[in-house]
């Protein structure tokens, strides 16, 4: 299988570089999804376009089990700082999370599987908007699942590049490997006034200073240290000029967790932290946008991936997933069928320090056939089992 995947290396690189040069963000993946759908039709797949806005669902084979392979296609609002000759042409957008390569490898897997006689069906889910959510707080996986993308699926697999691990390795293990996520948005309300008369105001910056301390103490003082969780502040905005104390300030951030009980506890503790505003004479409003659940790899599916990795790459090249509280909306698909995501080593010389979401992120394209072979071989094993 590795040999077959190596034989299409050029196509894999061509797809990946083309997508890298033309990154699209969120659900606005019009060019990307058209290319993907056109290629899949050419390969003989039954293609549904526009599933979950710009998602593409494509199936091949008859009867038997249905194995889904998911690839995310969206880029990030980052100004690329690389100077290779396939640098992003959409200024301010960049494939800094490797989704260009996920898409290319899934296309490669589709191509190889289209030449096989399959004892069941393989369904590809090319999804938009993994990195963020739309105005209704829904991610690509949520939208696609709601439109039937997972109906009838027996197992689902996916991969994510890992730029910290060498080419030729994968990571896989059962259990939680990424965090559930909420975005939170708050406004701290005081009473505005002249900067020379703070006594006539309720200074929202002063309130906020205490709230920030209280927020930062939640994880270290209130949450069980064996339960991984994060609260981070992402933006603070307020005020217009140097001598006016404004009426209010806004603060936003993200929180991560791997356990639903901790999730609830963090919400309670955050209310208490913001309540400091009231204790000091002000007020606040706090709201959450609930993101995806934590990603918890199924034990059996993880074992099949691990065995495939052992056979294709050698057991010494199959490690554990580097656990992260980074969010991954693949967990949404896994609500509908058992599944697992493995990581693919893509470390590139000279780019070692530039990890996911870095403006100088890049990957070693020699990993592309490896990820492709892993997808094809794992899917075939499920169909054969």
In the complex, least distance from residue 26 CB atom to Zn ion, rounded to whole angstroms: 12
Q: Among 90-98, 239-247, 270-278, 298-306, which window interacts with Zn ion (CB under 5 A)? A: 90-98
> Is 34 in a helix, a strand, or coil?
helix
> Rounded to the nearest 5 degrees, what angle is found at the Cα of 215, between the Cα atoms of 210 and 217?
100
Rounded alpha-carbon distances, angstroms, from residue 200 to 56, 190, 205: 59, 11, 14
How far is 209 from 126, CA to CA, in rounded Å?
A: 44
How far is 65 from 122, CA to CA, in rounded Å?
A: 8
Pairing between β-strand 170-171 and β-strand 339-345 as defined by DSSP bridges: antiparallel
Q: Figure out which of the listed residues 67, 97, 251, 368 binds Zn ion, where binding follows CB under 5 A.
A: 97
The interface mask with Zn ion, positions 312-351, x = CB under 5 A, is ----------------------------------------
In the complex, least distance from residue 102 CB atom to Zn ion, rounded to whole angstroms: 8
In the complex, least distance from residue 65 CB atom to Zn ion, rounded to whole angstroms: 27
Q: Among 32-40, 79-87, 89-97, 207-215, which window interacts with Zn ion (CB under 5 A)? A: 89-97
Nearest to 55, CA basis, from 75, 42, 74:
74
Which CB, 97 or 181, lies closer to Zn ion?
97
Q: Among 42-50, 93-101, 108-116, 375-383, which window interacts with Zn ion (CB under 5 A)? A: 93-101
In the complex, least distance from residue 139 CB atom to Zn ion, rounded to whole angstroms: 12
**Do residues 343 and 162 touch, judged by C-beta distance below 8 A?**
yes
**Do residues 159 and 101 touch, judged by C-beta distance below 8 A?**
no
Determine the residue with CB nearest Zn ion.
Answer: 97
Which CB, 97 or 270, lies closer to Zn ion?
97
**Do residues 69 and 125 touch, judged by C-beta distance below 8 A?**
yes
Say how many residues touch Zn ion, by CB under 5 A: 1
Which CB, 203 or 328, lies closer to Zn ion?
328
In the complex, least distance from residue 269 CB atom to Zn ion, rounded to whole angstroms: 27
In the complex, least distance from residue 74 CB atom to Zn ion, rounded to whole angstroms: 9
Which CB, 32 or 248, lies closer to Zn ion?
32
Burial 140-167 (b: 16+ CB within 10 A, else e): bbbbbbebebbeebbbbbbbbbbbebeb
**Binding residues for Zn ion (CB under 5 A):** 97
């Amino acid at each position: 299988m590795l040999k077959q995947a190596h034989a299409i290396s050029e196509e894999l690189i061509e797809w990946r570089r083309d997508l890298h040069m033309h990154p699209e963000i969120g659900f606005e993946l019009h060019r990307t999804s058209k290319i993907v759908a056109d290629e899949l039709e050419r390969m003989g797949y039954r293609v549904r376009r526009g599933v979950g806005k710009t998602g593409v669902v494509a199936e091949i084979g008859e009867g038997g089990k249905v194995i889904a392979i998911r690839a995310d296609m969206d880029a990030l609002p980052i100004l690329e700082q690389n100077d290779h000759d396939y640098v992003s042409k959409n200024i301010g957008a960049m494939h800094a999370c490797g989704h260009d390569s996920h898409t290319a490898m899934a296309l490669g897997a589709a191509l190889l599987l289209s030449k096989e006689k399959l004892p069941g069906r393989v369904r590809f889910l090319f999804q938009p908007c993994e990195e963020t959510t739309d105005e209704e707080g829904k991610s690509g996986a949520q939208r696609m699942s709601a439109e039937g993308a997972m109906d009838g699926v027996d197992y689902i697999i996916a991969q994510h590049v890992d730029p910290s691990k060498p080419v030729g390795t994968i990571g896989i293990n059962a259990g939680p490997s990424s965090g559930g996520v909420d975005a939170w948005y708050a406004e701290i309300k005081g009473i505005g006034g002249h900067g020379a008369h703070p006594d006539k105001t309720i200074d929202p910056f002063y309130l906020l200073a205490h709230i920030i301390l209280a927020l930062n103490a939640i994880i270290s003082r209130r949450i069980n240290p064996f339960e991984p969780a994060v609260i981070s502040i992402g933006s603070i905005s307020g005020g217009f000029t140097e001598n006016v104390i404004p009426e209010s300030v806004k603060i936003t951030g993200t929180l991560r967790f791997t356990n639903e009980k901790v999730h609830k506890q963090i919400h309670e503790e955050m209310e208490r932290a913001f309540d400091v505003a009231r204790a000091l004479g002000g007020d606040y409003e706090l709201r959450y946008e609930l993101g995806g659940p934590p990603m918890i790899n199924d034990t059996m599916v993880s074992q099949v991936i691990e065995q495939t990795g052992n056979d294709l790459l050698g057991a010494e090249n199959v490690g554990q997933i580097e656990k992260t509280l980074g969010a991954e909306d693949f967990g949404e698909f896994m609500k509908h069928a058992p599944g697992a995501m493995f990581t693919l080593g893509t470390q590139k010389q000279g780019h070692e320090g530039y990890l996911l979401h870095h403006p100088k992120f890049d990957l070693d394209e020699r990993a592309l056939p490896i990820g492709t072979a892993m997808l094809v071989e794992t899917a075939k094993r499920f169909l054969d089992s």
